[in-house]
Structure 1
Amino acid sequence: MTQPPTLTPHRPLRILHLTGTLDRGGIESWLVNLLAHLPPAEARMDVLVASPGPRPGDLDRLVWGLGGRVFHAPSTRRPLAFVAALRRHLREHGPYDVVHSHIHHFGGLALLAARLAGVPVRVATSHLDSRRGDAAAGQGRRLYLRAMGAALGAGVTHRLAVSEEAAAALFGPRWQERGTRLVTLGVDLDAVRAARGEAGTIRRELGLPPGEPVIGHVGQFRPQKNHLFLLDVFAAYLQRHGPAQLLLVGDGGERPRTEARVRELGFSERVHLVGSRPDVPRLLWAMDAFVFPSTHEGLSLALLEAQAAGLPAVVSDGVPLDRRMQLETVEVLGLGAGEAAWADAVARALARGRAVPEAPDFDVARTSRELLAFYTQAARQAECRSP
């Protein structure tokens, strides 16, 4: 077992984050923003990626450039190999004060391994409301969920969640009794504000025709993001309300199906798939409304960014909302309402127009300081408890 580190006033905290990817996405971009706002004299951050293959992620280079380090482990689909790689990493690159898992159920096994390796603070954050899928799981999946839940109970020291729904999904309906804290991860408000006033320039860069409203979406191309439904909503909007453009930002496994559906609908001149982009805050100013029909989420950082840019939004009832959002600018619909109802809601959002908030309460500069204070307090408490 690795000896736990001893904190001194002159030594920065050492933190290891566990994640499933470093491609562009909400959690991944937040990790980069977090690293950018952590003072190196107070905290040093590494990222261990449970990747299906050894290829670098889109954000690997950014992490290294900000003073962090990125390591790759086997996929969580190979649990024994992943745990062996994690234990080897902790032995060779530790000791760490904190291991912080952003991997959903499997994080339980990872944190148990961290406990056995002597890491004093072991944090799990739930980013996703997976309850609907978990409830429909088959017998094998249910056994896996029970095993991961038991491992989490044995390995975790601190429970965090981005919403009440996400908390219940990972920590159970009695999550409050287990001391779970709700946290807002935050977005880079400075980057969003810096692009204000560039809408015309950005639209020309993207080849968007003037005079037509731009409906936007930001998210990795995964089944939960529901891109095919979004295309059907867009088709209904064109039929019921007239010309418009659809801007899709992101990449992923569902992109080929989405592109095929665009061609099938004959929308190649109206739907713009711009891929994974480093300038999402700029692209938000090219949009007039934000549409987010996910089947489930935790708390969407893409929606928080859209809020920071003042975009009116239409979201599914599978997307938890935060009381600190501009809720009057968001319309919530069930996916069962149908494409026509969604299209009419998009038209209402466009009519509401943009309303940029003066001081939204989810600036990553502030939330990063809060998280660092949490890490520091937890590490000092663990040191006081150690023999």
Structure 2
Amino acid sequence: MRILQVVGGMNRHGTETWLMNVLRSIDRTKFQMDFLVHTNEHQAYEDEIKDLGSCVIRCLQPSRPWVYAKNFKRVLQEYGSYDVVHSHIHHYSGFVLRLAHHAGVPVRIAHSHSNTNHIQAQAKLPRQAYYRLMNHWITRHATVGAAASQSAASALFGLQWQTDSRWQVVHCGIDLAPFKIPVDPAEVRSQFGIAPNVFVIGHVGRFYEPKNHGFLIEIFSEIVKHEPNACLLLVGEGPLRGVIERKISRLGLSQQVVFAGLRADVHRLMGAMDVFLFPSLYEGLGLVLIEAQAAGVPCVFSDVIPEEADIIPSLVHRLSLSQSSGEWAVTALAEKQVKGEISQLQSLKSVESSSFSIRESLKKLEEEYTKTASSRRDRSSESLNLST
């Protein structure tokens, strides 16, 4: 079965990392996965994708639909027919699946990874018109709709999404094998020049607006007032990194903030964190919260994040974004005492038994690919028999 995953790029972000977990774990004798990206830049996962026998296919200029349509048609002609087009680019999936439908692709999946309801509500008229058109095309051309959470489903498929049997929640699973490897926190800290006795606040996320790094820095500034021997470990890259660096400098925190960049060993870094801080403005789910719980790290995060992320109640603490940075700081400092109350091995077992293990996630995905494709083939055979 040939599957084309449509993504903006294949760098080390949440959706892309999940797709890599799928690619590594799926039975590649039965499923051939290729990746269509919207960039000419070399992607972080590109070499591994090719090593695993898949292709990275470039389809450019999505902002010019008529050009993109021509490029998409060329891709399908050049790389052959696909049984499934699985699109992960939110509303623009409507256009992609329309093109796939016209090209005769039998299984067309729109996948929502983010809760953008409040953005849609604030959009101006031209953008509202765009959303309506894309929603119409998704409803018309998608054979399946998947979502990372219930709120992500409502963002793309509407508030009444549960009334349509095509739409469903498919939790993105993580590869938990790395979390079974013991981590020496002192060793990890030493790599970044962090002393063993320092209180380490951690964050993993791309430097862009939804991750709310500006507020994160304000919280850390308040933490330092109570705990001068504190450090903020930031994992990730993104367009707003320079803005955040300047804010850190203005607050006189440069010596206490570590930028770790993009990392393939996030599980190791989490082992060196005392508290995981995640004040996102919105999330489809926030897979790094699942990883932090698997690492046994107490988490303080915004209450806009779907409740499906709460796997281990003793490790999670929700706060409103309307609360002050000082209140967030006090909570983070209090959570410092929580680490160790439940062992990392116990935490890992809880996550393993949830729907967020890659095993469970992959099982559901494979079933959806094969079930939908079989159903389509059966209906095609019936139509052929009737016509003859």
Between 319-328 and 103-112, the greater mean CA deviation after superposition? 319-328
- 2:154 is equivalent to residue 188 of structure 1: no
CA distance in 2, matches of 1:279, 1:78: 37
Could you tell me whether the CA contact under 8 Å between 1:109 and 1:155 is conserved in 2? no
1:4 maps to none
**Residues 210-289 of structure 1: pairs in structure 2 closer than 5 A:** 210-289=196-275
Match of 1:327 among 310, 313, 322: 313
Gaps of 5+ in 1: 1-12
Could you tell me whether the CA contact under 8 Å between 1:50 and 1:82 is conserved in 2? no
Q: Which SS does the other structure have where 2:86 is aligned?
A: strand
CA shift for structure 1 position 82 = 2.0
Q: Could you report, residue by residue, the CA deviation over 1:297-333 in whole angstroms, capped at 9, with x for unpaired residues?
A: 0011111111111111011122112166113311111
CA distance in 2, matches of 1:342, 1:160: 33
User: Which residue type is aligned with residue 145 of structure 1?
Assistant: Y
1:6 maps to none
CA shift for structure 1 position 292 = 0.5
Q: Which SS does the other structure have where 2:47 is aligned?
A: helix
Between 247-256 and 70-79, the greater mean CA deviation after superposition? 70-79
How many residues are matched? Answer: 372
User: Which residue type is aligned with residue 22 of structure 1?
Assistant: M
Root mean square deviation of aligned Cα: 1.3
Q: Could you report, residue by residue, the CA deviation over 1:156-196 in whole angstroms, capped at 9, with x for unpaired residues?
A: 000111111100000000000112211111111001222x2
CA distance in 1, matches of 2:140, 2:367: 25
CA shift for structure 1 position 116 = 0.5
- 2:168 is equivalent to residue 171 of structure 1: no
Q: Which SS does the other structure have where 1:125 is aligned?
A: strand
User: Which residue type is aligned with residue 209 of structure 2?
Assistant: P
**Residues 1-387 of structure 1: pairs in structure 2 closer than 5 A:** 13-51=1-39, 54-179=40-165, 180-194=167-181, 196-322=182-308, 325-354=311-340, 355=342, 356=344, 357=347, 358-360=349-351, 361=354, 362-386=356-380, 387=383
Q: Which SS does the other structure have where 2:253 is aligned?
A: coil
CA distance in 1, matches of 2:225, 2:319: 20
CA shift for structure 1 position 285 = 0.7
Q: Which SS does the other structure have where 2:32 is aligned?
A: strand
1:7 maps to none
Between 92-101 and 78-87, the greater mean CA deviation after superposition? 78-87
CA distance in 1, matches of 2:10, 2:309: 29
- Rate the CA distance shift 1:238–1:222 in 2: closer, same or farther, 3 A: same
Q: Which SS does the other structure have where 1:105 is aligned?
A: helix
CA distance in 2, matches of 1:58, 1:65: 13
Could you tell me whether the CA contact under 8 Å between 1:98 and 1:119 is conserved in 2? yes
Could you tell me whether the CA contact under 8 Å between 2:189 and 2:272 is conserved in 1? yes
Between 357-366 and 26-35, the greater mean CA deviation after superposition? 357-366
CA distance in 1, matches of 2:72, 2:251: 47
Could you tell me whether the CA contact under 8 Å between 2:234 and 2:257 is conserved in 1? yes
User: Which residue type is aligned with residue 113 of structure 2?
Assistant: H
CA distance in 1, matches of 2:61, 2:364: 31
The TM-score, its normalising length taken from structure 1, stands at 0.93
CA distance in 2, matches of 1:265, 1:170: 39
User: Which residue type is aligned with residue 216 of structure 1?
Assistant: G
Could you tell me whether the CA contact under 8 Å between 2:114 and 2:155 is conserved in 1? yes
User: Which residue type is aligned with residue 48 of structure 1?
Assistant: L
Q: Could you report, residue by residue, the CA deviation over 1:15-63 in whole angstroms, capped at 9, with x for unpaired residues?
A: 1101112111000111111100011111010000123xx1111111121
Q: Could you report, residue by residue, the CA deviation over 1:228-281 in whole angstroms, capped at 9, with x for unpaired residues?
A: 110000000111344211000000101110111111112121100111111111
